[in-house]
Structure 1
Amino acid sequence: MRFGGVIHDNVRHARDFLMVGNHLGRNVKLSPNAIGLSVHIQNVPEGGEISVQSLYERFRESGTSKATIAKGMRELEEHGYLSRIVVQDDEGQFATVTISHNYPARYRKPADRELPPLRRTPASPVAAEILALLQDAPPTGAEPPPRPPVRPPSQPPVRPPAPVRPPAAAVPQPRRPRPAPARPRALPPVPQPLFPARALLETAWTVVAGLRREDPRLLVSEADAEHLTSGVAAWLERDLTPEAVTLALTRDLPPEPLHRPAALIAHRLTHDLPPLPSFQPPPPPLHPLQNCDGCDRAHRAPQPGPCPACTP
């Protein structure tokens, strides 16, 4: 049994991993520098900057020089792992887009183009258009014909990363406004007097203010008393005394507490309103007794003189 060599202690990744083909890791024509650059480039999110300068800033601490990075990128281009294309935006600005191929044989060998389509990661509209152009590209080693700059649809090829929002706990929540206090419902309408004389209204006010003496639950506010005074005045116009109106409003009250005594009084003033008294002609005046000058009989007359029988 042979001892030595590598032993793989592998763990199956469920998230945050990158799939790399064996054609890259076992490619003897690529230097370790090129293989490492390809793995890093495939891990860069779409829209990220890939250039010699950006890669040098990324690996500066490892001692990698710009020349080493440029050499590794040329190797990747020669073996089909990288390709570059010039695009132009709507404002006429030119930019170089670097395309990373994790399956370079798809574009290098014409025979591989007959393979069934591979399952791809969803790309942006700009990347989809650029990849469609590369489907018709010639194999590596042939002189590619000059291509005019490609104008991508309405959006730039490189998008800045989205800003990181602070956690929800760090954002102060606005204070909710306090709900306005509910307004009390308006009292039911009450009858109105035909002739609201001042003396009549004063008597009616006295009746409303004195209801609490008959029952403490009939205590009403000043605003409610002004509303009820007109209804009591309409009752007093119907030849009712203040005592009779007080009795009609305070008798047979429910035994439970009264939540709105003014509404109960307004209901009774409207529902139990008595009818107007019938019209009667005034009685004739009563004259004093007078003695008749002719027959000396007593009769009623406004002035002394003969009675109707002795009147010629």
Structure 2
Amino acid sequence: MDTQQNTALTRALAEVPGPLPTSGVIHIAIPHTDRFTVVGNHLAQHPDLSCTAVGIAVRIQSLPQGTEVGIKALAARCKEGQKRIAAALRELEAHGYLERFRDRLPGKKVITRTVFCNQPAALVHPRRPAAELRPRLAAPVSVRVPAAAPVRAPAPAPVLAPAAAPAQAPAPEAAPVAPPVPLPPPVPETAPAPMPVPPSPAPLFVPRVPPPTAPKASRRPLPQPSELTPELGRAATALLSDLHRHAPRFPLSEDDVHRLVPGVAAWLERAARPDTIRRALTDDPPHPLMHPAKLLAHRLTVLLPPAPPGIDDLAALARPRVTVTPFQTCDDCDRAFRSPTPGHCRDCREVRSEHAEHAEHAQAAAA
């Protein structure tokens, strides 16, 4: 009875909408109203940062401006030692979240400044300012309104003088009537200029993994031999039918064997040995192996060896051999020289020719 059970989580779990997952974590998200820090998933789920580095980064990000975040200051706040904190800070520096540099104050005092960026990728690819993303308002369009016809003021009524005699007063003269002024033709209203569409901002990040709705590339067809002879067909069928004896994880049905026979025949046509084909198809399969026939079709297509070179291709590769003249030793001075046959070097041949000339001159003079 002394074991305390937290029933608050159990009650909150009953209020989670939707079906609960059969495995994995279940999140109970309660919105924060105060004392919280926004942390991006690029940091919380960073594949190359250790959990210690992620925790130190979150701790630094939650501290107010101007707080000491050196190794000793963090060791006083955290349970990790100074060595682990120093290693975590080096990881954050390597990935651009943290930078430490020395700055000289006006009084010739050198201090170490620590700069922490919660999103270093935004510094490499800066966001466009909000003013550029707002649509520009169109310039005011002036609309010409037709001028109204001038309105004439009514002529003042004539003032009658008091009658001096009982005689009838003369009738007043009628005011001259002005001719009607023609109205100007109506000016068509100018249509407002269309609002310019702002250019779409360049994406900050290009996803490397295609979305699930992206069209998948078509599969490459199974290789086919130039001519499926009966001998190739029988050899390929025998290899596939006997495959489960060498690799028990590759049991094939009769339909699978008939479907894969052309691919194995293409390998055999390219002078591939049966044991080489068997090793290439069954070596290091995935765990668990769900579809053996599909794996064999994929490997038959992707690992297809090149066609063996023909006689003409080998003849083109053959180069004429360069004849190397061997070394010989001079019979007179024992000097090494290159010559196809043994004899004398160049200097000894010249000396011998000079002696022969002198001998001929001496014989001629004696005669």
Q: Please tell me the TM-score bracket, short chain as reference.
A: 0.3 to 0.5
Which structure has the higher relative contact order (CA within 8 Å, separation 6+)? Answer: 1
Question: TM-score by structure 2 length?
Answer: 0.29
